């Protein structure tokens, strides 16, 4: 088990670096560079650059997610560190875990409809994350490590869903249109851009949830909810910062 854990952690981190590195490149570098290209330059650059970058992006996401689930199985479900005193496997714990893994379907439905407005989506997203933390800690009696990593798993599952089922399908059509010298469908551009932004916001708290597995201080759901808010604030600042970085 220790050997498998070490192997999966290694793959998980390398794949995660590959995935999130490309995510930040798309959002903080390419998003500012792409508008500077004229039509002919885009026809040449986009079909050559983006498929290559998106290959590493989507497969980094896949390997990160798969090894993350395997680590949950080994470290938490098999390793017996899921519950505080008084907690055990039962309907409530099962429901919490099911919610983590069906969260992309709930997220997708909400952000297509009632949460399309960015401000509403920001506030509601934070509230939902805080509610999940409270339920896992106070109702399901998860340990601090367990509810921290399961919030991270929820973010990661939504992010992987966005990559494979929203961003990549949209980008294939956008790239083909650009190669043909046609304007891409504005709705697809907006969808890919929005979901990529959502992933960027979720990625920073997700990294903290991974680090929190080794925390030496006493923490609680309120602390982690505040961390999510701070992380999202940091991403907002970095988006602003990216607009000030210029080429020669």
- Tens of pLDDT, residue by residue, the chain (248 residues): 889 999 999 999 999 999 999 999 999 999 999 999 999 999 999 999 999 999 999 999 999 999 999 999 999 999 989 999 888 999 999 999 999 999 999 999 999 999 999 999 999 999 999 999 999 999 999 999 999 999 999 999 999 999 999 999 999 999 999 999 999 999 999 999 999 999 999 999 999 999 888 775 667 999 999 999 999 999 999 999 999 999 99
Residue 119: is it exposed, middle or buried by C-beta count within 10 angstroms (0-12/13-18/19+)? exposed
Domain membership of residue 121 (yes or no) is yes
Task: List the domain range (segments joined by +) for residue 98.
Answer: 2-242
Let me know if residue 105 belongs to a domain. Answer: yes
Residue 86 within a domain = yes
DSSP H or E segment with residue 26: none
Return the structure tokens found at 66.
Answer: 């798969």
Q: Is residue 148 part of a domain?
A: yes
Determine, yes or no, domain membership for 135.
yes
89 found inside a domain: yes
Distances 80 to 1, 149, 153, 165 between C-alpha atoms, Å = 13, 14, 18, 33
Has this prediction a pTM greater than 0.85? Answer: yes
Query: What are the residue ranges of helices labelled H in the chain?
Result: 2-24, 31-33, 39-71, 91-112, 118-134, 144-162, 168-179, 186-211, 221-242
The number of folded domains in the chain is: 1
**Residue 248 falls inside a structural domain:** no
Residue 136 counted as domain residue: yes
């Amino acid at each position: 088990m220790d050997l498998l854990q070490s192997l999966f952690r290694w793959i998980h981190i390398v794949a995660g670096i590959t995935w999130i590195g490309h995510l930040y490149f798309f959002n903080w570098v390419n998003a500012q560079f792409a508008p500077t290209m004229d039509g002919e330059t885009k026809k040449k650059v986009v079909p050559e650059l983006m498929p290559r970058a998106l290959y590493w992006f989507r497969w980094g996401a896949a390997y990160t997610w798969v090894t993350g689930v395997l680590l949950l199985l080994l470290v938490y479900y098999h390793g017996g560190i899921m519950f505080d005193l008084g907690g055990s496997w039962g309907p409530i714990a099962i429901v919490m875990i099911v919610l983590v893994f069906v969260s992309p379907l709930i997220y997708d439905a909400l952000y297509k409809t009632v949460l399309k407005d960015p401000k509403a989506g920001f506030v509601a997203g934070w509230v939902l994350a805080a509610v999940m933390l409270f339920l896992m800690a106070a109702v399901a009696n998860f340990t601090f490590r367990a509810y921290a990593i399961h919030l991270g798993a929820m973010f990661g599952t939504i992010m992987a869903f966005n990559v494979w089922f929203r961003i990549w399908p949209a980008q294939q059509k956008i790239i083909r249109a650009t190669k043909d010298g046609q304007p891409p469908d504005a709705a697809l551009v907006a969808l890919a851009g929005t979901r990529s932004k959502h992933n960027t916001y979720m990625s920073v708290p997700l990294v903290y949830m991974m680090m929190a597995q080794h925390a030496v201080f006493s923490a609680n759901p309120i602390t982690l909810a505040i961390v999510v808010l701070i992380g999202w604030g940091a991403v907002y600042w970095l988006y602003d910062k990216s607009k000030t970085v210029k080429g020669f």
